[in-house]
Chain A
Amino acid sequence: MNIEAVKAIYRAEMRRTRNTLLQSVAAPVISTALYFVVFGSAIGSRIESVDNVAYGAFIVPGLMMLSLLTQSISNASFGIFFPKFTGTIYEVMSAPISFFEILIGYVGAAATKSFILGVLILITATFFVDLRIAHPFWMIGFFLLTCVSFSLFGFIIGLWADNFEKLQLIPSLIITPLVFLGGSFYSVDMLPEFWQKISLLNPVLYLISGFRWSFFEVSDVSVGVSLSMILLFLFACMVIVWAMFKTGYKLKP
């Protein structure tokens, strides 16, 4: 195991975050604060509660997920896309380092950033609403799993994308709609029956539902199903990344 290499990649990636602190940390925190103002205070004051949870608090897990998903993907995809774009990837590819170590370095750094971001959003939320966390261990578990699996997913997108447009394509066209329609701001019960069924096809719903359960013990689907879904997603991403490295996909002619 080339520990030094993992450390080198991890440090370089974290340094990149520090250099772009405004963009990678301040921007998501500010936009989350805006969501609290608009949805939590302005609209929330007209909605009494959802499943006996104050609306302002109800949306916290969804908002966290919204940021975690989009930021994990954008951090990790950019982290590997940029060296590919500039050509500096040659160094990593010619180093005595295995695919698994490359993965730990890049995905580990992206997941760390997302985790820090999530904590910041959680702290921000406490300024606006009263929060209680019923199952802190489950909450941290979901939190970590989401950071890791979606950073991994972002890594795949970064490997796959060969231009900036493709890099933005999946996050903006697929992930954002899935998060918005996955019950970030509402309980699926509030939808007409037909749309409830459609919603069950949305993988992000399971994630938000499980995460929300760890806060308030209310959920759209059972927590076991949620956990299975995210583990399945993590596993699928691992298999894809493994296959990509095995075949040298877009990295090694």
Chain B
Amino acid sequence: MTESTPIISIKGLTKTYDNGHQALKGVDLDIREGEILALLGPNGAGKTTLISTICGLVSPSSGSVTVAGYDIIKDFRKTRELIGLVPQELTLGAFEKVGNTVAFSRGLFGKSPNNKFLEELLNELTLGDKKDSMVQQLSGGMKRRVLIAKALSHEPRILFLDEPTAGVDVELRKDMWNIVERLRQSGVTIILTTHYIEEAEEIADRVGVISGGELLELEEKTALMEKLGKKQLVVELKNSIDAIPAQLSDYGLELSANGTKVTYTFDARKERTGMTALLSDLSQAGLSIKDLNTAQSSLEDIFVDIVKADA
């Protein structure tokens, strides 16, 4: 597989705030053009600092970031033009109309006015009839849509979504993923931070796990799940048993469903899963098997594992 030039390239990025808090401890990350990258991490992991640094809201302590080959500090005009940011907080000026604030954003990013484009954008975000509404009269979900409209107002090639679904209703969440999908199809690179694992699982191409200011893992979503995923083998027995036979104690089996189900948890990372041995040991112990079932652990389980291992 040939790697294309990354759209964002982060090298040795560190950030220590004035109060001494080290939010980033040397992050290296290449983001591919057109991908959806989810940055997973607990609160205070450094996700927002990482995003804010790329967007120019936080000055890096050391390291470098390039966007489309341009340095974010030396060529800030070129890099920032390409980026749209939806912040985590619902930060909107109170005394403004929706249409005005979105047009303001477009101008701020150097694009000449284009009412037709902005109208379509508002319609797509179901804000069409809210154009002349004052921002402070909108509900939280609507404000979130306005923030997205502002971020997309200058037709960015890269979109950052910082905790996009925090406090968002189901409908908006669905709408948002539709927009993300459409943007992806038009070639926009999307980076989102979240601590909802289902979200990453649902839409991301790659998942990065951040904790304590470090990028602990960065993998294709499926590869990450395969690589780190725990699998479970559930064996359904023909006849119930009272206890796990002594010769099977090494497997760490769990008995459930009134003694008719035996669950074996194994690490898919290991070359030898121990499944074959288990099955033959089961029959040697005189247990007959009715059914077999394997299940993969979700990203959530994986994530908890990684962060725990790091702590």
Contact = CB atoms under 8 A, between A and B. Distances in A.
Q: Do A and B come from one complex?
A: yes
B40 to A, nearest CB: 23
Interface string A60-94: 00000000000000000000001100111011111
Contacts, number: 83
B110 A96 contact: yes
Give chain A's interface residue range (CB within 8 Å of chain B).
20 to 34
Contact of A82 (B78, B81, B87, B93): B93
Contacts of B108: 4-5, 8-9, 91-92, 95, 97
A94 B58 contact: no
B212 to A, nearest CB: 19
Given A15-B100, A90-B85, A95-B108, A253 B94 contact: no
A87 B17 CA distance: 19
B251 to A, nearest CB: 52
B288 interface: no
Contact of B91 (A4, A16, A87): A87
Given A86-B91, A253-B58, A94 B80 contact: yes
Give chain B's interface residue range (CB within 8 Å of chain A).
35 or more
Contact of A2 (B77, B87, B91, B105): B77
B91 A90 contact: yes
A101 to B, nearest CB: 10
B107 A5 contact: yes
Contacts of A16: 95
B118 interface: no
Contacts of B271: none
Listed residue (A8, A88, A96, A252) with the most chain B CB atoms within 10 angstroms of its CB: A96
B104 A94 contact: no
A95 B109 CA distance: 5
18 contacts: A2-B77, A4-B107, A7-B107, A8-B105, A8-B107, A11-B104, A12-B104, A86-B93, A87-B87, A88-B91, A90-B57, A91-B150, A94-B57, A96-B76, A97-B77, A252-B57, A252-B59, A253-B59
Interface of A: 2, 4-5, 7-9, 11-12, 15-16, 19, 82-83, 86-88, 90-98, 248, 252-253
Interface of B: 17-18, 55-59, 76-81, 83, 85, 87, 89, 91-96, 100, 103-112, 150
Closest 9 CB pairs of A and B: A8-B107, A87-B91, A96-B80, A96-B77, A95-B108, A94-B55, A4-B107, A2-B110, A96-B81
Given A4-B106, A86-B92, A97-B108, 12 more contacts: A2-B110, A4-B108, A8-B104, A9-B108, A15-B100, A16-B95, A87-B87, A87-B89, A90-B91, A93-B57, A94-B55, A96-B109
